[in-house]
Structure 1
Amino acid sequence: MADKVFRVMLRMQIKPGMEADFERVWLEVGDSVTGHPANLGQWLSRDLETDGVYYIVSDWVDEPKFREFETSDGHLAHRQKLHPYRSGGSMTTMTVVAHLAGAAT
């Protein structure tokens, strides 16, 4: 399955003092992503070295289905709810080529 997973990683810079609100809203609207039939899951992580920086990773069954979601009305509504908290960001896409499970799994 790893060779078919399409991964998207967003780096988001959040406006100072708005981090807690951003996290709350991200959780509230997250099902608009995870509810898509092609989504395999997503994670929100906070950078411990740079204030206000978050990473969102989401896995998809393939790139075409992600691109379909990316241009959907649902995704636009999701982005609009998070936009007030952002001061910058970037997106990286990739294909998972291998996965090694850790001993704790």
Structure 2
Amino acid sequence: MSADVFRVMLRMEIHAGKREEFERTWLAIGDSVTSHPANLGQWLSRDAEDPGVYYIVSDWESEARFREFETSERHLRHREKLHPYRSAGAMTVMHVVSHLPGTGAARTHEEWEAVR
């Protein structure tokens, strides 16, 4: 991973009773983000202590390319599909300074799911 990577982290609080539907919807529409040529990947995580809180992390080639996506019609449609599940949220943006890959980093998504 290049140190030039721009990372976006969203913290989303999801309405009780809508968490499973939110997860399914996020997965179903995720390609509207990951198919953008500047997107390097995206992760959905659930808070270990508060199951109503999720974090979405996505990596981008650059801040400029992310901002291009952020202001696009494509992003607006994506947000509209997730908005009904959300009760609150926040966005943090950052520049990756360095990256030390772990031994397990070579696993494919399918291998990771099998371990999970």
Q: Is the shorter-chain TM-score for this pair beyond 0.5, marking a shared fold?
A: yes
Residue 89 of structure 1 aligns to a residue in which SS? strand
Letter in 2 for 1:83: H
Give 1:12's aligned residue: 12
Q: Secondary structure at the match of 1:25?
A: helix
Structure 1 residue 102: deviation in Å? 1.1
Contact 2:10 / 2:91 at 8 angstroms: preserved in 1? yes
Q: CA deviation at 1:9?
A: 0.2
- The TM-score with structure 1 as length reference comes to 0.97
TM-score (norm 2): 0.88
Offset at residue 104 of structure 1 (A): 2.4
1:32-82 residue CA offsets vs partner (Å, 9 max, x unmatched) = 000000000000000010131000000000000100000000000000000
Structure 2 gap segments, 5+ residues each? 106-116
Q: Which amino acid aligns with 2:73?
A: D
Q: Distance in 2 between matches of 1:75 and 1:46?
A: 22
Q: CA deviation at 1:2?
A: 2.5
1:1-105 map, 5 Å: 1-105=1-105
**2:9–2:58 CA contact under 8 A, matched in 1:** yes
Distance in 2, matches of 1:62 and 1:55, equals: 20
Which runs of 5 or more structure 1 residues have no equivalent in the other structure? none
Number of residue pairs matched by the alignment: 105
C-alpha RMSD of the superposition: 0.8
Moved over 3 A (4+): none
Cα pair 2:3 2:99 within 8 Å, conserved: no
- CA–CA distance in 1 between the matches of 2:79 and 2:104? 35
